[in-house]
Amino acid sequence: MRSYWVKFVGREAACVEGHENFSVYDAAALALKLTGCRVENVAQIPHPALPQLNFRGVPAMCYTPEDCSGMSACPKGYACSE
């Protein structure tokens, strides 16, 4: 599964998730479809984050999606939950 952090115009950012071949373009299209808001930016994040637009069974594990956006693996040497 892949997770993306999506920034919108006029709405708070949110996470969208998809299958292994889910691309940035797929994430933008899904986010637009789910919210009706124009997408400003989409970046991959290591784990799902809150708020989630399309919950796919994996709980949110990324507590700092703004800091981690653009990365496919968590850059921290410790768990955010600690």
**In a domain? residue 48:** yes
When the pLDDT of each residue in the chain is averaged and rounded to a whole number, the result is: 90
**In a domain? residue 76:** no
Question: CA 27 to CA 73: how far, in whole Å?
Answer: 18
CA atoms lying within 13 Å on the CB side of residue 14: 22
Summarize pLDDT for 5-45 with one digit per residue, the tens.
Answer: 999 999 999 999 999 899 999 999 999 999 999 999 999 99
**In a domain? residue 37:** yes
Residues 6+ apart with CB under 8 A from 25: none
Which residues constitute the domain of residue 23?
2-68
Q: Let me know: does 54 contact 30? Beta carbons within 8 Å.
A: yes
pLDDT at 61 over 70: yes
Name the β-bridge partners of 3.
Answer: 17, 45
Cis amide leading into 48 (omega within 30): no
**In a domain? residue 74:** no
pLDDT band at 79, cuts 50/70/90? low
**In a domain? residue 34:** yes
pTM for the model stands at: 0.89
**In a domain? residue 56:** yes
**In a domain? residue 14:** yes
**In a domain? residue 77:** no
| Count of domains for the chain | 1
